[in-house]
């Protein structure tokens, strides 16, 4: 089709793109065709007409313009550390301007007492604002003239190599100018017109024009909203369609009855009353597994909300129906922890539970394979080792995935093939994840939430402490140990600074031993450089209460369960991420005693670190913490999502576009309910676009 041809023209055919630039665009930005360039949207705009007041600055603002009087021009430092600084003052305050380069030139140009129009990216240093290497324009008049031509100048992502070839943002803007007008007529609408009308979405051609060269701020916003909606909507439509296809193509194991294993456990062996939320989730799972459709369910719940027992009882349903169950964990420590928990819970039930990890010896493994196929093993716990082809079951009916790092759809799918009729899958998240991420990452799953903690849990009291409070902290620890409680002291261990971190840990350990001398006190230490056996030995000592203090790196982050430990001290807390802090804090507060968490840091903190620590002090709610984490880090950096590619959106941002995502999901759901095959005439446009996308994805995978 001629229309398609224009957009699929090689980028080398564009005026201004020679062979060298063509090669670079392909390599650096994956721009092969006219269409690819068109999809290379600006990631922000420079507003050349707006002048801010210094007092209005906040960290959300990218590049901005200020107007003020220059004062205090100074040369500071020497040689390589030399820099030129000046103060800029407007009616609302002052800000520092800094140059490290071209100092002589700036010195000649800048005049104290003159008014300048200043353009640059403000940043905060030691709680004060500054702009490094601002652009300066001398102003003869106090107010700048509003720009007559373009208000919003697009800023494009580019790379060092492209810049060296003249393809900086301005260079790319020039290419877009050559392309956009000619290409627009070839852009096809991909949403039904009723949808455009209902949600007041900008037509697609108009949106492509406005996103590159907006006439004003409002049109820019609307073009971005429209393209965000389109992007999120199609992801949702694909997720829901694959869910539907799966349900059509895969019959589910029918786990009809609740039998004696489940009943006996529930009536005689359950160590506590289930919470209302746990009961509700069990009912949801129960309804799924007897429906005849394959279950794919996400189980969300905060640290300590009791997901494990729900998983275990679901397994009992499988066993009641003469089938097997499996549990996969992300690490060996966690897998063996789960194995121990399951074994303990099944006391009195006469079940066979086995463990399989990367370090299971070959001979044992062979035995295990046989036993699995003979159906002699009821439950297999393990790591990724379980996914291997050689691991086959007699009749696997339920797989529980306890994940800290997100498994991708592909890995989940690997489990579906473990059985003739695919097993039901229950995915448990280690920590809560924000709704927008869940909708996208697990959008093809049904969701259950345990939104209630077991009764009698007291809020963990969390305090942020700085150096001056050390002595008081040590006294507090002694007091708690006297009362019979145990204490964790955790040090960060970041790969990049591993050596220093170990030194730090050892210094801390020695200090603790001095403060808590034997024989009155016993101190354990656990870190990644120890052998597994050594680690295990120390863990057990602590668990049995033989040591009162556990000094550790983050190896204890997940899974450790010692209810008598009620105090968690986190050293250099500013270096931990929010979900890590929340996980660590979750190691205490597991019994009836009041628990405490102390976040120790130096005095000087970046804005982000302070926000993280404040959030921890303010709330114990994992969902709230996850939400803040997403706002701070953005979706691309959230644990485990990076590799997946799921979060690579062109315009949408899961941290900010919750409303649009909800609308997109809602719309996609409605369509799947009323016209799942997309047969209605109004939905032809969707069908066609999906087909083309599938084709593109296919081609792309062949290339890479």
Footprint of ligand ADP (CB under 6 A)? 272-275, 278, 301, 303-309, 454, 561, 590
Instruction: Kindly tell me which of 213 and 265 has the beta carbon lying closer to ligand ADP.
Output: 265
Q: Which is nearer to ligand ADP, 432 or 635 (CB)?
A: 432
**Considering beta carbons, is residue 454 or 634 the nearer one to ligand ADP?**
454
Question: How near is the Cβ of 530 to ligand ADP at its closest, in Å?
Answer: 24
Q: By Cβ distance, which residue is nearest to ligand ADP?
A: 306
Indicate the residue among 171 and 591 with the shorter CB distance to ligand ADP: 591
Return the H-helix or E-strand segment holding 549: strand 549-552
Closest distance of CB 309 from ligand ADP, Å: 5
Specify whether the CB–CB gap between 424 and 290 falls below 8 A. Answer: no
- The CB-of-102 to ligand ADP minimum distance in angstroms stands at 56
Judge whether 379 and 312 are in contact, CB under 8 Å. Answer: no
Residues 6+ apart with CB under 8 A from 180: 38, 208, 209, 212, 213
Q: Which of 67/305 has CB closer to ligand ADP?
A: 305
* Least spacing, CB of residue 278 vs ligand ADP, in Å: 6
CA 13 distance to own-chain centroid = 40
Cα–Cα distance measured from residue 166 to residue 649, given in angstroms and rounded to the nearest whole number:
27
Q: Kindly tell me which of 201 and 310 has the beta carbon lying closer to ligand ADP.
A: 310
- The H or E element containing residue 299 is strand 296-301
Identify which of 655, 662, 647 has the alpha carbon closest to the alpha carbon of residue 229: 662
The residue (of 100 and 272) whose beta carbon lies closer to ligand ADP is: 272
Give me the least distance between CB of 31 and ligand ADP, in Å please. Answer: 46
CA–CA separation, 686 vs 704, rounded Å? Answer: 27
Give DSSP secondary structure letters for 381-409: EESGGGGSTT---SSEEEEEEEESSPPPH
Give the whole-angstrom CA distance, residue 426 versus residue 285: 9
- CB of 122 or CB of 586, closer to ligand ADP: 586
The candidate with the shortest Cα–Cα distance to 431, out of 258, 299, 338, 553, is: 299
Answer yes or no: are the C-beta atoms of 59 and 607 closer than 8 Å: yes
Residue 179 or 428 having the CB closest to ligand ADP: 428
- What is the three-class DSSP state of 540? helix
Residue 443 beta carbon to ligand ADP: minimum distance, rounded to whole angstroms: 23
Q: Which is nearer to ligand ADP, 3 or 273 (CB)?
A: 273
* Rounded Cα distance, 341 and 347, in Å: 10
Side-chain-side CA neighbours of residue 626 (13 Å)? 21
CA distance 209 to 185: 10
Task: Supply the minimum distance, in Å, between the C-beta of residue 342 and ligand ADP.
Answer: 11
* Nearest approach, Cβ of residue 327 and ligand ADP (Å): 12
- Of the candidates 385, 430, 453, the residue with the CA atom closest to the CA atom of residue 559: 430
Taking the least distance from each CB to ligand ADP, the nearer of 219 and 307 is 307
What is the DSSP annotation of 75-101? EES-GGG-EEEEEEEETTEEEEEEESS
Q: Which tokens belong to 459?
A: 């809020």
In the three-class reduction of DSSP (H, G, I as helix; E, B as strand; rest coil), residue 673 is classed as helix
Q: Is the Cβ of residue 273 or residue 497 nearer to ligand ADP in the bound state? A: 273
Q: Residue 576: which of 564, 584, 568 has the closest Cα?
A: 584
Helix, strand and coil content of the chain, in percent to the nearest 5, comes to 45, 20, 35
How near is the Cβ of 553 to ligand ADP at its closest, in Å? 21
Least distance CB 190 / ligand ADP (angstroms): 42
Question: What is the rounded CA–CA span in Å between residue 298 and residue 307?
Answer: 11
Backbone angles phi, psi at 197, to 5 degrees: -65, -50
Of residues 305 and 324, the one with the C-beta less far from ligand ADP? 305
Tokens of 438: 């869940």
> Would you say 48 or 307 has its CB closer to ligand ADP?
307
Helical packing angle, 217-249 and 684-703, nearest 10°: 80
Cα 354–Cα 355–Cα 359 angle in degrees, nearest 5? 145
Q: Which of 555, 537, 534, 536 is nearest to 488 (CA)?
A: 555
Spatial separation of the C-alpha atoms in residues 428 and 431, rounded to whole Å: 9
Least distance (Å) between residue 307 CB and ligand ADP: 3
DSSP letter at 10 equals B
Give me 537's structure tokens.
């030995």
Which residue's CB is nearer to ligand ADP, number 395 or number 452? 452
Cβ pair 457, 589 in contact under 8 A: yes
DSSP code of residue 58: -
Q: How far is the CB of 457 from ligand ADP (least distance, A)?
A: 8
**Distance of alpha carbon 414 from alpha carbon 385, whole angstroms:** 12
User: Least distance to ligand ADP from the beta carbon of 543, Å?
Assistant: 13
**Of residues 231, 54, 63, the one with CA closest to residue 665:** 231
Q: Quick one: 514 exposed, middle or buried, by C-beta within 10 A (0-12, 13-18, 19+)?
A: exposed
Choice between 279 and 529, CB closer to ligand ADP: 279
Instruction: State the minimum distance, in angstroms, from the CB of residue 211 to ligand ADP.
Output: 43
The least distance separating ligand ADP from the CB of residue 367, rounded to whole angstroms, comes to 30
Residue 268: Cβ within 10 Å count: 9
| In the complex, least distance from residue 594 CB atom to ligand ADP, rounded to whole angstroms | 16
Report the residue number, 309 or 605, with the smaller CB distance to ligand ADP.
309
Minimum CB distance to ligand ADP, residue 448 (Å) = 12
- 493 vs 505: CA distance, rounded Å: 9
């Amino acid at each position: 089709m001629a229309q398609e041809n224009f957009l699929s023209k090689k980028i080398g055919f564009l005026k201004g793109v020679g062979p060298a630039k063509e090669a670079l665009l392909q390599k650096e930005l994956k721009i092969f065709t006219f269409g690819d360039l068109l999809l290379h949207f600006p990631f922000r705009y420079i507003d050349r007409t707006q002048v801010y007041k210094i007092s209005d600055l906040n960290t959300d603002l990218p590049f901005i313009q200020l107007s003020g009087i220059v004062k205090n021009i100074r040369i500071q430092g020497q040689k390589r550390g030399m820099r030129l600084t000046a103060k800029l003052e407007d009616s609302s305050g002052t800000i520092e301007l800094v140059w490290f380069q071209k100092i002589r030139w700036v010195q000649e140009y800048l005049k104290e007492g003159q008014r300048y129009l200043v353009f640059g990216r403000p940043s905060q240093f030691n709680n004060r604002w500054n702009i490094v290497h601002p652009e300066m324009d001398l102003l003869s008049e106090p107010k700048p003239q509003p720009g007559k031509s373009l208000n919003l100048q697009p800023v494009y992502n580019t790379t060092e190599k492209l810049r060296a070839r003249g393809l900086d943002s301005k260079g790319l803007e020039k290419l877009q100018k050559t392309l956009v007008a000619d290409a627009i007529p070839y852009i096809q609408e991909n949403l039904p017109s009723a949808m455009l009308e209902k949600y007041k979405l900008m037509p697609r051609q108009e949106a492509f024009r406005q996103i590159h060269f907006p006439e004003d701020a409002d049109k820019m916003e609307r073009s971005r909203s429209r393209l965000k909606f389109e992007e999120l909507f199609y992801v949702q439509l694909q997720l829901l369609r694959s869910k539907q296809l799966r349900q059509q193509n895969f019959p589910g194991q029918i786990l009809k009855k609740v039998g004696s294993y489940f009943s006996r456990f529930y009536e005689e062996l359950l160590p506590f009353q289930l919470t209302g939320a746990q009961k509700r989730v069990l009912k949801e799972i129960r309804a799924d597994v007897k429906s005849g459709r394959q279950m794919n369910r996400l189980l969300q719940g905060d640290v300590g909300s009791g997901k494990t027992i729900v998983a275990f009882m679901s397994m009992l349903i499988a066993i009641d129906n003469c089938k097997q169950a499996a549990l996969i964990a992300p690490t060996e420590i966690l897998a063996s922890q789960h194995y121990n928990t399951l074994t303990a819970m099944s006391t009195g039930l006469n079940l066979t539970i086995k463990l399989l990890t990367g370090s299971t010896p070959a001979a044992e493994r062979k035995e295990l394979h046989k036993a699995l196929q003979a159906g002699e093993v009821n439950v297999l716990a393990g790591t990724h080792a379980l996914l291997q082809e050689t691991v086959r079951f007699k009749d696997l009916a339920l797989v529980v995935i306890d994940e800290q790092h997100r498994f991708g759809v592909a890995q989940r799918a690997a489990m579906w093939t473990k059985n003739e009729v695919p097993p039901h899958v229950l995915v448990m998240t280690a920590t809560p994840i924000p709704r927008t991420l869940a909708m996208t990452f697990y959008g093809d799953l049904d969701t259950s939430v345990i939104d209630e903690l077991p009764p009698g849990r007291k809020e963990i009291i969390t305090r942020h402490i700085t150096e001056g409070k050390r002595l008081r902290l040590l006294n507090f620890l002694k007091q708690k140990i006297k009362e019979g409680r145990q204490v964790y002291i955790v040090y960060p261990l970041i790969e990049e600074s591993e050596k220093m971190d170990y030194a730090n840990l050892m210094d801390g350990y020695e200090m603790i031993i001095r403060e808590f001398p034997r024989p009155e006190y016993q101190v354990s230490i656990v870190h990644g450089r120890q052998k597994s056996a050594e680690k295990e030995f120390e863990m057990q000592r602590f668990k049995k209460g033989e040591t009162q203090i556990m000094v550790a790196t983050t190896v204890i982050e997940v899974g450790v369960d010692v209810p008598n430990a009620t105090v968690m001290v986190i050293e250099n807390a500013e270096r931990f991420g929010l979900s890590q802090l929340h996980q660590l804090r979750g190691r205490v507060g597991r019994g009836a005693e009041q628990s405490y968490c102390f976040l120790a840091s130096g005095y000087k903190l970046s804005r982000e670190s302070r926000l993280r620590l404040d959030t921890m002090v303010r709330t114990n709610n994992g969902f709230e913490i996850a939400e803040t984490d997403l706002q701070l880090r953005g979706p691309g950096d959230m644990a485990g999502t990076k590799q997946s590619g799921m979060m690579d959106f062109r315009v949408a941002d899961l941290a900010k576009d919750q409303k649009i995502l909800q609308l997109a999901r809602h719309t996609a759901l409605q369509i799947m309910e009323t016209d799942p095959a997309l047969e209605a005439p109004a939905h032809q446009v969707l069908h066609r676009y999906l087909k083309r996308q599938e084709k593109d994805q296919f081609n792309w995978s062949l290339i890479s």
